[in-house]
Amino acid sequence: MTTSFAQSLRLRTMLLGFKAVTRPLAWRGDPMARILTAGRDTDPYPFYEDARALGDLSRSGLGLYVSASHRVSDSVLRDPRFGVDTRASLMDMKKMLLDSKGRRPIHPVDDSFIALDPPRHTRLRRTVAPWFTPRALRDLTPLVEKVVGEFLDEVEGRDQWELMDDFAARIPIRIICEMFGIPEIDYARFIRWGTVLGATLDGIRSAAELARVRAALVDLEAFFVDLLDGRRRNLGDDLVSSVIRAQSGSDEFLREDLLATCELLMMAGYETTLNLIGNAGLALLTHREARERVIASPSSADNAVEEVLRWDSSVQYTVRAAVEPVTLEGVDLPTGSLVVLLLAGANRDPDVFPHPDVLDLDRPNSRDHLSFSSGIHYCVGAGLARLEAAVGMRMLFERYPDLRISGPVVRRRSRNIRGALSIPVSPR
Ligand code: HEM
């Protein structure tokens, strides 16, 4: 599949138009424009404070509404008058991916139930939920411990290794592949899919990026078509077989739903969780007292992970669109109005979290953060992500209590996914 010249020209024009609008707004201090134009190493938290200073709900010059208030964000996420279909007003990835013949690959986010409103959302979500119950996660714990132990064995004896690629990125890939019943794992391929697709949560920035995304999606789809074909012939007791059983035999689900559901489970838990593990590692490596707590009392790894989710979430914001006219905080929003909910800003709302910029493992309400969203789209995999990160931190610092950062930390370019691309570490 290739991008036609006309498409690429349209995209360039759109991007130039977008930059022409956002840059002057950012110079004038518009918080949302500043977030969207910020550089890789920019600390985003002051922008969220600026947004909060404008009120619990403010209007950006980009034509969006913005909130860094915990109360407003939580209430919008739980409000059935707001839906997830924001395509009419934002970049429509589905349209952008069309090739000259009008075909496009399945997109794990835009084609799956995370991007659907009820009732289809409810029906599709039900087909995967049993795999993420507290009981299912308890049964999974020994496997997570085994996998984390193996990765720590692999780096044993090395003077320096990479916390992201050697450890953080491998845990979520290996666990979801175990759940899917995939024995042979090509880590480099998964990391490529994750990095390319994760970056698109901010939107597409260039024609070259669009081509990379399309190639990654075609490859991802081919992988899942193969996997699903094989599994249909030989159903087992894995997550993929379970989704096939739950979705086949019902006219309401299509072949595309099955593909999109599996791709969503693979990708939604990947960049998010690896960056949670990376952010937790980085927080503990740079906060001596917190690290010593985790070493002295491994059960405090759970608190550490919860507080890192609040303090430095791997998902920074999400968007909702009004599906009917809504009055919110005294503002009349017409149908289709977009509200950007700055989840990471809400997590530092001083009305809910006193001294919000401080990483505090004793904070009694860390778990009230919105990093996993709220309402009907509350993250299905929240428990799995918590488990992987807590086991990861407990075992990492048990094995390497003197672990230290041994080179420059390189941040990701994404503004929505927050985390590091590289954290070189040394065991002594
Ligand atoms: C630190 C790790 C994770 C974070 C921060 C995270 C964050 C989120 C957020 C913010 C949403 C909702 C988006 C919205 O409301 O617009 C979401 C939904 C979702 N997440 Fe996660 N996630 C994580 C890990 C996982 C894992 C491990 C899985 C599964 C393997 C997963 C699967 C999903 C699915 C399927 C949805 C869609 C739920 C729905 O629409 O009903 N996530 N996640």
- Domain residue extents for the chain: 5-426
By C-alpha distance, which of 261, 335, 290, 356 is closest to 46?
Answer: 356
Of the candidate ranges 152-156, 180-184, 251-255, 387-391, the one whose mean pLDDT is the lowest? 251-255
Residue 106: what pLDDT? 93
Q: How confident is the model at residue 2 (pLDDT cuts 50, 70, 90)?
A: very low
Residues with C-beta less than 6 Å from any ligand 1 atom:
113-114, 125, 176, 264-265, 268-269, 272-273, 276, 314-315, 318, 371-373, 377, 379-381, 384-385
pLDDT over threshold 60, residue 411: yes
Query: For the chain, what percent of residues have pLDDT higher than 70?
Result: 94
User: Please, what is the end-to-end C-alpha distance for the chain in angstroms?
Assistant: 49
The residue ranking higher by pLDDT, 26 or 424, is 424
Q: How far does residue 8's CA lie from ligand 1's centre (Å)? A: 31
pLDDT over threshold 60, residue 88: no
User: E strands, 280-408, where?
Assistant: 318-322, 326-328, 331-333, 338-341, 404-405
pLDDT over threshold 70, residue 14: no
Q: How confident is the model at residue 90 (pLDDT cuts 50, 70, 90)?
A: low
**pLDDT tens string 250-303:** 778 888 999 999 999 999 989 999 999 999 999 999 999 999 999 999 899 999
Beta bridge partners, 425, equal 161, 405
Cα 226 to Cα 103, 232, 240, 300, 364, distances in angstroms: 19, 10, 12, 42, 47
**pLDDT tens string 341-356:** 999 999 999 999 999 9
* Average pLDDT, integer, range 374-381: 98
What does the alpha-carbon distance between residue 321 and residue 370 come to, in Å, rounded to a whole number? Answer: 18
- To test the pocket of ligand 1, the residue of 123, 264, 311, 379 to mutate (highest count of ligand atoms within 8 Å of its CB) is 379
Element (H, E) at 173: helix 170-180
- To test the pocket of ligand 1, the residue of 143, 272, 314 to mutate (highest count of ligand atoms within 8 Å of its CB) is 272
Neighbours of 25 (CB within 10 A): 18
Residue 119, preceding bond cis, omega within 30 degrees?
Answer: yes
The class that CATH gives domain 5-426 is: mainly alpha
pLDDT over threshold 80, residue 80: yes
Residue with the smallest CA separation from ligand 1 atom 16 is 318
Residue 5: what pLDDT? 54
Of the candidate ranges 21-35, 186-200, 230-244, the one whose mean pLDDT is the lowest? 186-200
pLDDT over threshold 80, residue 363: yes
What does the alpha-carbon distance between residue 42 and residue 210 come to, in Å, rounded to a whole number? Answer: 25
Of the candidate ranges 102-111, 113-122, 367-376, the one whose mean pLDDT is the lowest? 102-111
Cα 362 to Cα 67, 81, 300, 303, 394, distances in angstroms: 27, 36, 9, 8, 17
Beta pairing, strands 65-67 & 338-341: parallel
The residue ranking higher by pLDDT, 85 or 79, is 79
Residue 1: what pLDDT? 38
Residue 367: what pLDDT? 98
